[in-house]
């Protein structure tokens, strides 16, 4: 059997860095091309979801349920108790309003919750069903039920009806206009004038990404920004931030009041930031090794030179954190490459062990990746809208159906903010890189199990040198905190673990003074050996406020005590002012 194009690309990328626009993998045969073409057309119709994988999951579930009379009897005899809270209200936020306590709306909600409870029982706990298949069926059932919830329809939602009556129908008219604007934006061909989205007023370099700085290095993959110092003296060790290339870098430099970059420079740190190029079809063959060599290592070389060989505090966020862990493990190996010295490694919501990736893992199996590979093979990349749709699906109740009810039935638009604008500023992922990432890390877990290779040599996270500061977030659907916590099992280095309130983005953008923010921390030095995530959670201390000051103090403790004069921006040679050109790539 001949290897597929994605497989050969994965193998070759571990020894030879890919080059944009060129392929160092064997060309696909005619039969493989035909297969990829057919699967890519099917993937376009299904949004990248494999109907084969879905069918196998439902067949596995249905066949085992058919041979489980005890489970069938349990489902038939189960009591139809409606989930309620201590005060007697329905235990679902969608039906918490007083109008839902009235007949017949209370009956609608009760019937829905009973149905939801039935399907939760029917799709779990069946002997013989593969765990992945059980999770897929359970997830699909929840998505279908959430779509049919009585809160989503005018005829069965008393709150929508009350708003329509009290506004004289204005709420429904506003909702119709909101729907029309969204449809026009979605269907408009390029160049056609359409209504601007509410968050379009947040533009990099104008309303966001405003921390003063200059671009000091640029290659075809990234720009390196050095920020202007805000204090007369600075810590000797600079801070290099590697953001994810799934989204634009300015998540960490939003408005001045919630910019992590501005906070760090005001505390006396010399800060560098990588801004990734937004790839197109021509960059389809960029691989993970390209992002390592021409991204992380190239930036480390520049920072080390500008800061006169000082050790570097490195920070990685999400996928950028995974890349940083790979690079740090390779640098720490006895025969590893040399690219400066790491003073510390900070990982923000970044997974290194992908054995339990949460509900995102529902989209990761051989069948699903075959369809996704075919879709990316046709396009040359994974589009930002396709990624956003997958993330929204994980929390469709809040991000899709509740939002549509609020905007299209109640006629209410959420007030725009900088975080919403950043979230809408999507990027693309190159075909080869994303295929390597999903196959090698998510599907096979090569990094955690010692099979991931850099420069033809397998690396181990046990070689990560220096102290580690690791941040997880409580409600993270991209990098679940218990998965992030698994680094304790993979590295003997000293780890300070922090669990921040909030989700994958809002938990990281948690500036001092932000209301309703807290974090938990228990340093490794507190005594004792390994703690399970639940043990750590029980023993950790809850601290009100932002985790940023805690981290900044940690950086200071691992820096030279004597402050120095700030380094010259780009050693006197710059390529323009921040935020640079790449962040503006559409």
Q: How far, in Å, CA of 143 to CA of 148, rounded?
A: 9
- Bridge partner residues of 241 (DSSP): 273, 315
Residues 6+ apart with CB under 8 A from 261: 211, 227, 241, 252, 253, 271, 273
CB within 8 Å of 401: residues ≥ 6 apart: 146, 147, 149, 151, 152
- C-alpha to C-alpha distance for 57 and 247, rounded to whole angstroms: 32
Residue 166, class by beta-carbon neighbours within 10 Å (0-12 exposed, 13-18 middle, 19+ buried)? exposed
What length does the chain have?
586
Distance, CA of 429 to CA of 283 (rounded, Å): 9
Which residue bears the tokens 């120095």? 564
208 SS3 class? strand
Q: Cα 196 to the chain's mean position, in Å? A: 26
Residue 75 burial (CB count, 10 A): 14
Identified catalytic residue from 63, 184, 318, 550:
318
DSSP code of 409?
A: I
DSSP 8-state secondary structure symbol assigned to residue 276: E
Q: Locate 533 and state its tokens.
A: 């995530």
Instruction: Reply yes or no on whether 550 is catalytic.
Output: no
Do the Cβ atoms of 340 and 313 come closer than 8 Å? Answer: no
First to last CA, the chain: 40
The residues annotated as belonging to the active site are 318
């Amino acid at each position: 059997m001949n290897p597929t194009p994605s497989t050969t690309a994965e193998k070759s990328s571990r020894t030879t860095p890919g080059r944009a626009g060129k392929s160092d993998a064997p060309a696909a045969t005619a039969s493989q091309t035909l297969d990829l073409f057919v699967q890519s057309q099917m993937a376009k119709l299904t949004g990248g979801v494999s109907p084969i994988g879905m069918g196998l999951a439902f067949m596995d579930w249905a066949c085992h349920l058919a041979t489980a009379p005890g489970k069938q009897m349990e489902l038939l005899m189960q009591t139809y108790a409606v989930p309620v809270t201590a005060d007697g209200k329905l235990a679902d936020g969608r039906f918490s309003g007083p109008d839902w306590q009235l007949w017949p709306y209370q009956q609608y909600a009760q019937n829905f919750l009973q149905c939801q409870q039935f399907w939760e029982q029917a799709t779990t706990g069946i002997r013989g069903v593969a765990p992945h298949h059980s999770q897929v069926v359970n997830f699909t059932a929840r998505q279908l039920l959430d779509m049919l919830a009585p809160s989503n329809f005018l005829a069965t939602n008393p709150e929508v009806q009350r708003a329509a009556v009290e506004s004289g129908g204005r709420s429904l008219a506003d909702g119709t206009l909101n729907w029309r604007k969204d449809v026009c934006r979605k269907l408009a061909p390029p160049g056609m004038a359409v209504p601007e989205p509410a968050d379009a007023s947040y533009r990099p370099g104008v309303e966001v990404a405003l921390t003063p700085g200059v671009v000091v290095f640029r290659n075809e993959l990234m720009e390196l920004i050095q920020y202007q110092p805000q204090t007369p003296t600075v810590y000797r060790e600079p801070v290099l931030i590697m953001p994810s290339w799934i989204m634009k870098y300015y998540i960490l430099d939003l408005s001045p009041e919630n910019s992590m970059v501005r906070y760090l420079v005001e505390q006396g740190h010399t800060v560098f930031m990588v801004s990734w190029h937004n790839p197109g079809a021509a960059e389809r063959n960029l691989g993970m090794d390209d992002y390592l060599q021409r991204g992380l290592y190239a930036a480390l070389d520049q920072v080390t030179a500008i800061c006169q060989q000082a050790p570097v505090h490195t920070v990685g966020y999400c996928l950028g954190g995974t890349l940083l862990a790979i690079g740090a493990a390779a640098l720490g190996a006895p025969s590893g490459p040399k690219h400066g010295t790491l003073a510390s490694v900070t990982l923000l919501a970044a997974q290194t062990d992908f054995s339990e990736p949460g509900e995102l893992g529902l989209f990761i199996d051989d069948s699903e990746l075959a369809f996704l590979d075919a879709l990316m093979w046709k396009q040359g990349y994974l589009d930002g809208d396709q990624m956003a749709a997958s993330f929204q699906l994980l929390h469709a109740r809040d991000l899709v159906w509740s939002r549509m009810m609020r905007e299209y039935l109640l006629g209410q638009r959420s007030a725009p903010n900088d975080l919403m604008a950043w979230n809408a500023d999507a990027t693309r992922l190159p075909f080869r890189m994303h295929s390597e990432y999903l196959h090698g890390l998510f599907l096979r877990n090569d990094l955690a199990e010692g099979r991931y290779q850099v420069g033809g040599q397998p690396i181990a996270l046990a070689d990560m040198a220096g102290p580690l500061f690791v941040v997880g977030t409580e409600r993270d659907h991209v990098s679940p905190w218990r998965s992030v916590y698994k680094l304790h099992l993979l590295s003997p280095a000293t780890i300070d673990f922090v669990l921040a309130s909030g989700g994958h983005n809002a938990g990281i953008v948690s500036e001092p003074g932000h209301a309703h923010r807290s974090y938990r921390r228990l340093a490794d030095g507190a005594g004792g050996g390994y703690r399970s995530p639940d043990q750590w959670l029980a023993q950790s201390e809850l601290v009100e406020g932002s985790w940023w000051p805690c981290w900044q103090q940690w950086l200071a403790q691992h820096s030279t005590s004597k402050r120095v004069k700030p380094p010259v921006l780009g050693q006197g040679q710059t390529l323009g002012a921040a935020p640079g050109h790449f962040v503006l790539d559409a």
